[in-house]
Chain A
Amino acid sequence: MVLAADGGERVTSEVAVLGAGMHPWGKWGRSFVEYGTAAARAALADAGVDWRDVGSIVGADTVRGGYPGYVAGATFAKALGWQGARVTSVYAACASGAQAINTARTQILAGLADVVLVVGADAAPKGFFRPAGGDRHDDPDWLRFRVLGATNPTYFGLYARRRMAVHGDTPEDFALVKVKNAAAGALNPNARYRKTVTAEEVAASAVVADPLRLLDICATSDGAAALVLSSMEFARRHGAADPVRIRAVSTVTPTYPTTVLDLPDIATDSAAAVAPADGTFRASIALAAYEEAGIGPDDLSLAEVYDLSTALELQWYEDLGLCGEGEGAKLLREGATAPGGRIPVNPSGGLASFGEAVPAQAIAQVCELTWQLRGTAGARQVAGARAGITANQGLFGHGSSVVAVR
């Protein structure tokens, strides 16, 4: 199956989203298995599909649940009741959920399965994410903590300060992102934080990693999200005549040499011998999704981006091509990315309102696209939504972008 480069007929490259479900985000103090199973049941009920009719299950792994977390697909299959389905478990840091979606899509498009259940769930620790235990001098994630004490928020602080110096962004701009996303999250029953936040409250919160404050940085959460995906043919037979369709899943790697200091690295690659590619890794993630989907930024109704920090949301505006380089804060100030704006970003409330539940988060982004494209997003509905994109980046050269249309 070859995608038409000219944006022509590509119906056979799409898969249908039959069902979407979540377990609400929070700090519930229970097992990730419980959350994932609840989300899976919700997605199956939404799809009107019996679990016993699912041909394949793909789990997005968590590194925080011990062995069951490393074999998440089997863990959820057992919890739902063994029924003989093909099983896959994938890990790709923050992009784990998107790789699970892509694995399901690939199986469907290859004719290996008609209906696939995708599940991601996490139970997050209190405080900073930390590396796995042991004395591991060959693990860059261990080394950045050992040598520098460089937590995730310090990287977010570096990016934010760089934007202030290069583009003239201000802490007030960053706070506006939080204000926007908190207002959206207040309308979302699955969000962990459901209170509006003022710019004054952001400014009054403690500095975590200069220039970013506590309310600029996303928390770590418990939560789960699931999707039931199927072939277009199965969807028709199932009575879903006009389902939300996933048209592209980008999971590209960076190109050597990298020029942005990405988590968990202590240095970038050297560009002394090889000239870097045009554009950053993040931009290349979105570009690959646009090319595969045959659409561009102007075709989008909404975007769900990985706002690990407020400043990073502005970065994504530029990497997704919603505006030119350095114009992210301007786009925000104009209200273009707010509800009712030209291109609402994070109508779900984003990570600002959810906190990160790593393997569930990229799946949750696609759940939000699904509800928005169906027109069932309630008080946070983007009017007339026809096409949406997600964007995400994680450790170790992982990132993802999913395009869904209706």
Chain B
Amino acid sequence: MSRTRTPVVTGWFAGEGDNFRLLGTRCSACASVFFPREDGFCRNPGCPGGDLDEVPLSPRGRVWSYTDSRYRPPAPYVSDPELPWQPYTLIAVELEAERMVVLGQAAPGVSVADLEVGMEVEVVPGVLDEDAGTTRTARTTLTTWCWRPTGVSA
């Protein structure tokens, strides 16, 4: 049986290890950055419109806020209803250069007790589900991004 790795959304992130980055787009006319990526049009109302070029987002930012999900979210979130629900943590991260806040799940094992607003975090590759879309001949790992504290506090 083969195992393939499929991003939960195509084109939102790329790279391995230290080179893993979220991918947005930047307008060539006004320099506005978009995540999730805008490929069709620039949303700045004062911009005449420019080409939207893919751009990696800053790999590090600071915690804007955080919470967790103590109950199983409904579909289309993928989770095995046979297994007991394991709460996960969500972190909203402020990126200084882009001046925007990006939400993501925390890396496995990071709980709300480990976090504080203002703490530095970095983006790392993550796995949303090991066996989503698994068939008899192929196993698919659904990949995503996660935020993980760098150890630098607020």
Across the interface, name the chain B residue whose C-beta is closest to A165.
Answer: B117
Known: A145-B77, A269-B100, A270-B34. 15 other contacts (CB 8 A): A127-B74, A130-B74, A142-B76, A145-B73, A149-B69, A150-B69, A150-B73, A154-B69, A158-B90, A161-B65, A162-B64, A209-B70, A267-B36, A270-B98, A271-B100
Contact indicator B67/A143 (Cβ below 8 Å): no
Q: Answer whether A268 and B100 are a contact pair too, CB < 8 Å, given A162-B65, A256-B44, A273-B32.
A: yes
Taken together as a complex, chains A and B put the C-alpha atoms of A312 and B35 apart, in Å, by 26
Residues facing B in A194-224 (CB within 8 A) are 206-212
Taken together as a complex, chains A and B put the C-alpha atoms of A293 and B69 apart, in Å, by 41
The proximity string for A residues 139-158 relative to B, scoring 1 for CB distances below 8 Å and 0 otherwise, is 01011111111110010011
Does B20 have its Cβ within 8 Å of any Cβ on chain A? Answer: no
Contact indicator A150/B90 (Cβ below 8 Å): yes
Does A379 have its Cβ within 8 Å of any Cβ on chain B? Answer: no
Q: Answer whether A268 and B101 are a contact pair too, CB < 8 Å, given A274-B30, A274-B46.
A: yes
Taken together as a complex, chains A and B put the C-alpha atoms of A166 and B92 apart, in Å, by 15
Interface centre among B30, B68, B101, B105 (most CB of A within 10 A): B101
Residues of A that sit less than 8 Å from B by CB: 127-128, 130-131, 135, 137, 140, 142-151, 154, 157-162, 165-166, 206-212, 256-257, 259, 261, 265-274
Residues facing A in B78-119 (CB within 8 A) are 78-79, 88, 90, 92, 97-105, 112, 116-118
Q: List 15 A-B contacts (CB under 8 A).
A: A127-B74, A128-B74, A148-B77, A150-B103, A157-B68, A158-B103, A159-B65, A161-B67, A257-B44, A261-B101, A265-B103, A266-B35, A267-B36, A269-B100, A270-B100
Q: Answer whether A208 and B70 are a contact pair too, CB < 8 Å, given A269-B100, A271-B99, A272-B99.
A: yes
Across the interface, name the chain B residue whose C-beta is closest to A142.
Answer: B76
Contact indicator A256/B43 (Cβ below 8 Å): yes
Residues of B that sit less than 8 Å from A by CB: 8-9, 27, 30-36, 43-46, 64-71, 73-79, 88, 90, 92, 97-105, 112, 116-118, 128, 144
Those 7 A-B pairs whose CB atoms lie nearest each other, nearest first: A157-B67, A165-B117, A149-B73, A149-B77, A271-B99, A130-B74, A162-B65
Contact indicator B75/A145 (Cβ below 8 Å): yes
CB-CB under 8 A from B90, the residues of chain A are 148, 150, 154, 157-158
CB-CB under 8 A from A127, the residues of chain B are 74
